[in-house]
Amino acid sequence: MKKKKVNLRDIDTQEHAGEHSHDDGHNHSDPESVSKFKTYLPAIFSFVMLIAGIAIDYFDVFPFFKGWLRIGWYIVAYIPVGFPVIKEGWNSIKNGDFFTEFLLMSIATLGAFAIGEYPEGVAVMLFYAVGELFQSAAVNRAKSNIKALLDVRPNEALVYRDGDYVSVDPETVEIGEKIQVRVGEKVPLDGILLSEKGSFNTAALTGESKPDTLTKDKSVFAGSINLDGVIEIETTKEFKDSSIARILDLVQNATARKSKTELFIRKFARIYTPIVVFLAIGLTFIPYFIVADYVFQDWLYRALIFLVISCPCALVISIPLGYFGGLGAASRNGILFKGASFLDSMTKINTVVMDKTGTVTKAVFKIKEIKSISLEEKEFMKYLMAMEEQSTHPIAMAIMEYKAEGTDFEATGVSEVAGKGLKGTVNGKTVLVGNKTLMTSNGIEVPSETDAIIESIVMVSVDGYFAGYVTIADELKDDAHQAIKDIREAGISKIIMLSGDKDSITQQVAKELGIDWAKGGQLPEDKLNEVEQLQKQPDTKVAFIGDGINDAPVLATSDVGIAMGGLGSDVAIETADVIIQTDQPSKIAKAIRIGRSTRGIVWQNIGLAFGVKALVLVLGALGMATMWEAVFADVGVAILAILNAVRLQKMKWQ
């Protein structure tokens, strides 16, 4: 597992590409493209050599293409794909692991050369190499990339030393030093605010889009972004103990704890390979005691054919083909799986844990209710909008979206009361706009009904009288209700919400959506702890859905991490296993269904490959099959597997 936007896999490599690009009249190769070409070059070279050799053999256009020249041609074709496998097999033997698929492939293909079946030897190894490339690509997609975290980590701190502010590495700043943070910069270390007030974007820590206004002596956390004016902070922790460093550490540790899925073919080969090798040995020598006219060369030839037939090429190819079909089907439905293993993992999920803001809500503030007491609504909103027009706060922007006829009121002398709101004059009347504390501190009596309001509330007084209030809330996504319904229908037994927003709002959203259990006020480590506790319960597999940097640790440690890609942070996207590219939570159930269908297709392909392989093995042992028939059987199985996997593209996932 948002956007094209940009290829999610290349976010970290593309992000700073412009810093190094220049027009000097020369072509500059993309290192990643060059690396990929080098990876596939050996297989391409062997394929071209093999096809050319077979064509020369078949059409007999070069009479001199025989003897050592012909042998040498196929040896050259064999080496690029065969040598790495032989080398791997030899290293495995030195490490005490004798019966691997590398050994089997080496014996079988070298045996084909020994009996003069050169094209078959190259073809079988080429099939195997291509299958390994497919499988390797799937595994690489499954690796969580957390390089984007480097963009979150503050890279400098302005610390006051020797009578001036100097730029230093945050790791060199000591506790008790004074640092300066300019507008738009990240706070590099945890500390206490020395300035009278400050406004901070704390989304990196809480995931909530609403800015946090702090006053003097309040705690400020590293990773927050200063939104308003130059501020000064006295550090209270070293960088290694700061909030953002803890998030970095949590993600790294959680990623390390994620179990690595061992390739099925490698597990299978530990049993399959020794059986095949011993059967081939038996096929060579046992007939000596049974057959009257035993000829060693004939039975050796038959054993080598048996080994060639037993090569697991069809399995190596057919298994990833099924997964690629599932990955393609998911991609066409706006879902990105970062590897085939997560398609399997998705089928085992029985508990879904989700964030709130940006996951089931739009992360955009809107006016929910306007309550005017002493004025008509339009006049009330004119007073409010005249004041909020002077502010850049997100809540002010939400209020300014109100559509009223004629907003001709003008506010003068507007000043901010730190942590409380705004004070000014509109049409000659004193107007206060802010929270309850602002009202009561100015002697304004606030109706008791406001105490029960859960959402963010903006109160207004005009000339000393309480005029009314506006409630501001984040909107649910259009498909939020359908998403919860679909997840339940997909067989998920438990749905949980963990949010950095205040608990009362979290509980309200959870109740509205019919979520089983919810908890608000959660920091990154709190979410991580809750999920780890769930994972300790027997037979519990957890998928976590989030979108913020604060969700990265739990996205990494959950059995399946799912990130919202449209509005989600780069860190969440890079850390997650599955990306919902359209930001629609209803895609979650669809991802589960695609995973289950893919698993069914894969096991059908495995059964097909085993069935055909067993049949041809028996025919080979009886001397009724040649190596070309074995190769054809592998290709035939691969074609059938492709056709089977194509069904995933045609299925309806609504």
**Alpha carbon 10 to chain centroid distance?**
12
What whole-number distance in Å separates Cα of residue 601 and Cα of residue 320? 11
**Alpha carbon 472 to chain centroid distance?**
32
What whole-number distance in Å separates Cα of residue 92 and Cα of residue 107? 14
Tokens of 180: 């300066």
Is 355 annotated as catalytic? yes
> Residue 154 — φ and ψ, nearest 5°?
-60, 135
Whether the CB-CB separation of 396 and 410 falls below 8 Å is answered with no
Strand 351-354 to 542-546 pairing: parallel
Write the CB contacts of 290 (distance below 8 Å, at least 6 apart in sequence): none
> Residue 518 — φ and ψ, nearest 5°?
-145, 155
For residues 527-547, one letter each, b for 16 or more C-beta atoms within 10 angstroms of the residue's C-beta and e for the rest, the string is bbebbeebeeeeeebbbbbbb
Concatenate the DSSP letters of all residues of 413-456 into one string. EEEEETTTEEEEEETTEEEEEE-HHHHHHTT----GGGGG--SE
Whether the CB-CB separation of 449 and 351 falls below 8 Å is answered with no
What is the three-class DSSP state of 98? coil
Q: How many residues does the chain have?
A: 654
Choosing from 344, 355, 486, 570, the catalytic residue is 355
Q: What is the dihedral of CA 555, 561, 562, 564, to 10 degrees?
A: 20
Write the CB contacts of 502 (distance below 8 Å, at least 6 apart in sequence): 520, 521
**Alpha carbon 503 to chain centroid distance?**
28
What whole-number distance in Å separates Cα of residue 513 and Cα of residue 82? 57
Where does 143-228 have alpha helices with state H?
203-206
CB atoms within 10 A of CB 181: 27
Residue appearing with tokens 């963010």? 456
Enzyme catalytic residues: 355
